[in-house]
Amino acid sequence: MMEKLQHDLPGLREPDRRISGLLLDLDGTIYRGDEVIEGAPELMKALREAGVPYKYVTNNSSASPAAVAQRLRAMGIPASADEVCTSAQAAAAYAAEHYPGGKIFMVGEEGLAEELEGAGLQLVEEAADAVVQGINRRFTYEQAAAAVRELLSGAAYIMTNPDLLLPSKGGLFPGAGSIGAMLQAASGVQPVLIGKPSPVLMDYALGRLGVTREEVWVVGDNLATDIASGDNSGCRTILVLTGLTDAANYERYATVANVSPYASCVSLDELRRYILRA
């Protein structure tokens, strides 16, 4: 039997299936903005030493996997680009599957552009097969108008992630979901969602991980995205109280998201013990 974990949050229980692979959230789980979360380097080094396969899975579409890996290494966390799965990668893979070699009107940043072009898609300003929209911190009214024109002309709509807010230095800022809300309101077109809680990004990451979903556990700090996406993908889930969710707001967030984790850990040190002693 494992030692009792140090809190009584609902959903805490012993593993009922093998932990043969992990899909790990980043912001709020491994780091907060530019600050590493206590215990993250030790957790990731221990997972590597134990041979537990994992992928970092992020809704962020602005940075390339190489840039994400470099950011992690700067925090003392071992990481390679191959270990990172972004919503931009999954969106590009989805668009390439459904519109091979197609024309894409992009609302996004460099990381999304790299993935779309790398998937053999053409970035255009008009007559697009699809609008692919992520975060764009230089978004303008003119870009909104052009995107809406494409959607009203029949282009499909693919959105990297529905996050309304994103954490950054200085607080919370509008995310891809806030831009998407504007485009949806103006065009009346509902997008295909790629990022968490949609299973599209998770299925992409599971394919990259190469472990059956029944043996993969999803770890994150957000019930509405990380934990919901794990449930939607048939994985077990572990909530960590290192970011958005804490013991005080758990009930409120669980009610709003209508989801609960299989297990919960108050810290990454506790998570490391939970995984490696299971």
**For residue 277, what pLDDT is reported?**
79
**For residue 90, what pLDDT is reported?**
98
| Rounded Cα–Cα distance for residues 192 and 250 (Å) | 29
Note whether 24 and 30 are within 8 A (CB): yes
| Rounded Cα–Cα distance for residues 269 and 244 (Å) | 18
CA distances to 5, 29, 46, 51, 123 from 40, in Å: 18, 8, 10, 17, 38
Question: Which is the catalytic residue, given 27, 129, 163, 203?
Answer: 27
Active site includes 129? no
Contacts of 170 (CB under 8 A, 6+ apart): none
Backbone angles phi, psi at 230, to 5 degrees: -65, -45
**For residue 166, what pLDDT is reported?**
75
Note whether 53 and 83 are within 8 A (CB): no
**For residue 33, what pLDDT is reported?**
82
Other C-beta atoms lying within 10 Å of the C-beta of residue 114: 18
Q: Which residues partner with 133 through β-bridges? A: 107, 159
Per-residue pLDDT in tens (0 to 9) along the chain, 278 residues: 344 444 456 555 678 788 999 999 999 999 988 899 999 999 999 999 999 999 999 999 998 999 999 999 999 998 999 999 999 999 999 999 999 999 999 999 999 999 999 999 999 999 999 999 999 999 999 999 999 999 999 999 999 999 888 766 677 789 999 999 999 999 999 999 999 999 999 999 999 999 999 999 999 999 999 999 999 999 999 999 999 888 888 888 888 999 999 999 999 999 999 999 75
Question: Which is the catalytic residue, given 8, 16, 25, 221?
Answer: 25
Structure tokens at 155: 């282009």
Backbone angles phi, psi at 203, to 5 degrees: -65, -40
User: CB-hemisphere CA count at 13 Å for 248?
Assistant: 3
**For residue 6, what pLDDT is reported?**
45
Active site includes 25? yes
**For residue 201, what pLDDT is reported?**
97
Per-residue 3-state assignment (H helix, E strand, C coil) for the chain: CCCCCCCCCCCCCCCCCCCCEEEECCECCCEECCEECCCHHHHHHHHHHHCCCEEEEECCCCCCHHHHHHHHHHCCCCCCHHHEEEHHHHHHHHHHHHCCCCEEEEECCHHHHHHHHHCCCEECCCCCCEEEECCCCCCCHHHHHHHHHHHHCCCEEEECCCCCEEEECCEEEECHHHHHHHHHHHHCCCCEECCCCCHHHHHHHHHHHCCCHHHEEEEECCHHHHHHHHHHCCCEEEEECCCCCCCCCHHHHHHHHCCCCCEEECCHHHHHHHHHHC
The amino acid at residue 48 is R
**For residue 84, what pLDDT is reported?**
98
